[in-house]
A and B are shown apart, each in its own frame.
Chain A
Amino acid sequence: MSEAALSIDRLAVVLHRNGAPVSVLADVRLALAPGEVLALVGESGSGKSTLGLALQGLLPAEAAPRIAGSVRVGGMEVVGARPPELRMLRRKVVRVVPQDPMAGLNPTMKIGRQLAESGGSGPTIRDWLARTGLHDAERILNALPHELSGGQRQRVLIAMAMLARPQLLIADEPTTALDTTTQAHILALLRRLAEQCRTAILFITHDLAVAGSLADRIAVLHGGRIVETASARALLAAPQHIYTQRLLTALRDVNTCPAAPGERGAGTALRLSSVTKSYRLGRQPVLKSVNLLIRKGECVALVGESGAGKSTVLRIAAGLVAPDSGDVARADLRPQMVFQDPASAFTPWLRIGEQIGDRLGRQRDRHARVGQALEWVGLDPAMANALPGELSLGQCQRAALARAVVAPPALLLCDEPVSAMDMPLAVAILDLLSELRHRLGMAVLFVTHDLAVARKVGDNIAVLKDGELVEEAAADDLLDNPQTDYTRALIAAAPARVSIR
């Protein structure tokens, strides 16, 4: 048996933020054998990305990092190594598959050239493209990054990383930007590569379900310390540490709590009749004759892969985009919307309170109503004076909900509002959403690519594929008894999350 691919011993990292030292990692111990897949699970802020950077000797110099302990990758000590050694390490020994595949590629350079720069001759490049599931090598090599799909880009990056035959592959949330089906393919590919090439994989994720479906072992990082390491099966079946138990409870919560049915009135909140839309003349239409009915107080979850047209349905429902043909009927002139990335959904130079209050015009009780809306979403009314940049992700999404309901709409539109969040936060936001929905009697159209989330929030689930609704049914019926092959495939592709009960 050769040496361990990675061994971390008592690693501690202190970074400086605004001059003050912050202990980011403490007493981290971890070992990976060649060919092993270890998932490092933690919430945002737990230090998992810092650990990934420390393994490559890439801690940001402006944070004046202080490192203690030892990190050995493929027999080479990283802590205290000189820059040329670190460059060699990053070229040959440790390779990374980044979270955002577009950021990992040079947008102005053809894929073929980027692969060649990463080392490797023509035949080996083609070989690796084939092994990562990209079979029309000619087209891929001559393409620019934007001409490929997200899944294809991620495969290219995996091929690029594997060209160097590294001993350790760090995958930093490589599938968060991908839809469920593509995610399942990429995970299977990584699994296969670890077995065939004896490459150890450190898989960084916030998603316990993804970790469980991929890894041999799971290490849970919390507050800069590894609180629990165990085989994936053992950890999911019998978590020892209280934090792991909390993560698992949140996961189960999403799976087993179906939405309490809202008070459905007789009226219609939104009706789309034979709506079509194509963005450019002569192009394949984005929506082909979509019919959708949402009654007052009802929540419909719209699921589908990326590119299915989910966002277009939402924008047509909001009135931001006009359909080419078909009718849109809304109960209320002003539906409100909650966006995927709450940080970019607030105008950066205006205070939170101003942006919420502008919805009310010049009403006299404006200040009080803004405070009340903030209280509804569990924020301190004093938060009204904050700028959007000062809020955390969760606070920001709560503020976005407050803005949406300060003048309660009959219809609330949600565009993947929790897809960027880790599980406990996502559950908290979804609970808040359903509480607001019942309190204010709103109908909700909730777009998501995540079936488990759809089941949690939706009374009904509608499945969209290539611009057509292929199936719509009550949430539990649809997941337990899918009628179309496409829905069955979606359910099968979802990570363990849906099946964990």
Chain B
Amino acid sequence: MASLLITGGRVLDPSSGRDEHADVAISGDQIAAIAKNLPRSPADTVIDAAGCLVTPGLIDPHVHLREPGHEHKETIATGSRAASVGGFTAVCCMPNTSPALDSPELVRFVYDRARTASCRVYPVAAATKGRKGEELTEILLLSEAGAVAFSDDGDCVPTAGMMSRVLTGVKQTGRVFMQHCQDPTMTRGSSMHAGAISQRLGLVGWPRAAEEVIIERDIRLNRGVGARYHVQHISSGESVDIVRRARAAGQPVTAEASPHHLLLTHEACDQYNTLAKVNPPLREKSDRDAIVKGVADGTITVLATDHAPHSADEKALPFEEAPMGLVGVEIALPLYAEALVHSGAITWNRLIELLTIEPARLCNLDRAGLGSLKVGGPADVTVINPDLACTISNAALIGKSKNSPFDGRSVRGRAIATICNGAITHRVGV
């Protein structure tokens, strides 16, 4: 007998190719049935999904939850709550905490904190100790402790020598290495894209090549290794070309795009707008268009918010001193829809694929049944009203930090209900 019934929606499960109008019944923490006109009992909680998409729970493989060490910006509790409001049922949190997630004990700490979170939280472990790029972490122990991927995110593994050891180590685990592609020697003092706006504002520019040379280098290093290699938050149009060529050559390379790189350009930094200061920086229209095209042609297979909370005081600093990053997990879905679906680049079906089974495969979460809707599988479901319009308001964000450059933007398409592990974690319009 069902305990939760989602009725009358368009059930989309790209992992199985399902796209039909049906009811979804949830019993306990599992999906009990997917079929038309399922019987309902008075005891059931019913979510009317007429006009809505019913999809596997959305997965964000790149967020910063700031715990431990920076709890004034975000915590696992507040960040996971924001994620559930955004329609996400699972997030992967990056290791640039304080201390960095570079030991099995810290990986277990995150899982421990996540037990009461509003969504599933999976730690990504550092590949080098303290994310300093000097000494390997205990990659095998970290993997065993449940690290779902490896990354020094926030910093690049800077040298070819260390990078080749990282790739070799990660290869053995079958997990993915996620690179923050930034040659640090090319970005000293840089705070925004190198172009006309940085020249006007007198800010040191951040060249595209700082990203491109790392991707080229890593792909070459990985040729003899064959580890799964993932480019985080791609920002340069030519980077997309590099990834496209490597994939065409059969290399195990993937890449992710973030809402801000799909929608904004360096113009957003004008007037020293620190809300638009992000790493890697917002670039030009040609880059933005190339990233959208990369998603459309299948070069970029994962979407990730890079949700990076910072306090208002920190973002009030002068541009060069303000921290890089912006929040997004709560408002990402309508932004992805604007950039990719409303624009005609891809269908809703493909968008859901990029937000469910693709990131699940990236982080091996598909092995636990995440990223798809299957009878007997975990009851992680997102109900999306693709036409629901709203205006983004930073003040109304429920995460701990409110640093979004999308404040005031009118958007369309929103999660009206989120169900994680059989429990309703978010619901609007009841």
**A, B bound:** no
Binding site for A on B (CB under 8 A): none
